[in-house]
């Protein structure tokens, strides 16, 4: 099913997390016993399928995307994988509009994998949503090695680089960068 979801993602021109990142997400969901997960950027549902495999069966994944067509593909992927409908809550809309409506400290894991220019806002919201011990995961945090290249000073690179710097200096979290895929930045909420 993951393969079919990945094919759909590619047909839609919507990059999905690489398998190494997916495996890490699954482990994180299991390790945090993640009953409540938020994903910013549903895409065609590839990362969501990995997360759901690590989550307990009575957990629920809330996933947000502004592209209804992407979410339709994700819904098909979930159905094909036999995911019970109550295990997912698929919310269409801009993450900046939806995230403020979610409850403080009520989530075990938040994955941010959407438009990088929105990352500062989404990360800020994620830290509010996470319970102590909960984990934030930011996909694409190395931006194809541009973040590590000091000569790259374009807006996108600067914004993503600043997200990493901010999390490193934020007393509320314990951060770690995994080189998997395009860089997976993790931060455990204290
Ligand atoms: C990289 S894909 C998500 C992939 C998914 N997490 C996965 O690995 O299977 C990014 C998603 O963010 C959404 N997106 C892109 N720009 C956006 C924006 N400005 N506001 C909201 N969503 C956006 C796209 O519709 C797309 O589905």
Q: Is the C-beta atom of 115 inside 6 A of ligand 1?
A: yes
Q: Where are the domains of the chain?
A: 2-189
Question: What is the interface pTM, i.e. ipTM, of the complex?
Answer: 0.93
- What does the pLDDT read at residue 22? 97
The whole-number average pLDDT for the span 10-14 is 95
pTM: 0.97
- What does the pLDDT read at residue 1? 78
What tens digit of pLDDT does each residue of 93-152 get? Answer: 999 999 999 999 999 999 999 999 999 999 999 999 999 999 999 999 999 999 999 999
Contact 108, 36 (CB under 8 A): yes
The hierarchical CATH code for the domain 2-189 is 3.40.50.150
- What does the pLDDT read at residue 186? 98
For a ligand 1 pocket test, name from 8, 43, 95 the mutation site with the most ligand atoms within 8 angstroms of its C-beta: 43
Using the atom order of ligand 1, give the atom closest to the CA of residue 70.
Answer: 27
State how far the alpha carbon of 74 is from the alpha carbons of 32, 55, 89, 170, 178, in Å. 24, 17, 11, 34, 26
Arithmetic mean of pLDDT over the chain = 97
How far apart (Å, rounded) are the C-alpha atoms in residues 122 and 152? 23
Contacts made by residues 152-160, CB under 8 angstroms, sequence distance 24+: 155/117, 156/116, 156/117, 159/116, 159/117, 159/119, 159/120, 160/116, 160/119
Ligand 1 atom 20: residue of nearest CA: 94
Q: Is the C-beta atom of 67 inside 6 A of ligand 1?
A: yes
């Amino acid at each position: 099913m993951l393969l079919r979801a990945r094919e759909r993602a590619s047909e839609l021109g919507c990059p999905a997390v690489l398998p190494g990142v997916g495996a890490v997400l699954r482990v994180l969901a299991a390790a945090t016993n993640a009953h409540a997960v938020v994903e910013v950027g549903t895409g065609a549902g590839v990362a969501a399928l990995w997360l759901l495999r690590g989550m307990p069966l009575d957990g629920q994944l809330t996933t947000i995307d502004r592209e209804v067509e992407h979410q339709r593909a994700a819904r098909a992927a979930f159905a094909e994988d036999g995911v019970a409908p109550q295990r997912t809550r698929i919310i269409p809309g801009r993450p900046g509009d939806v995230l403020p409506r979610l409850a403080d400290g009520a989530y075990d894991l938040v994955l941010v994998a959407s438009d990088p220019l929105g990352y500062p806002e989404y990360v800020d919201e994620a830290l509010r949503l996470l319970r102590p011990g909960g984990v934030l995961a930011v996909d694409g945090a190395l931006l194809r090695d541009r973040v590590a290249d000091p000569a790259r000073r374009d807006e996108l690179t600067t914004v993503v680089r600043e997200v990493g710097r901010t999390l490193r200096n934020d007393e509320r979290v314990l951060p770690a960068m995994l080189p998997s895929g395009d860089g997976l930045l993790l931060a455990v909420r204290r």
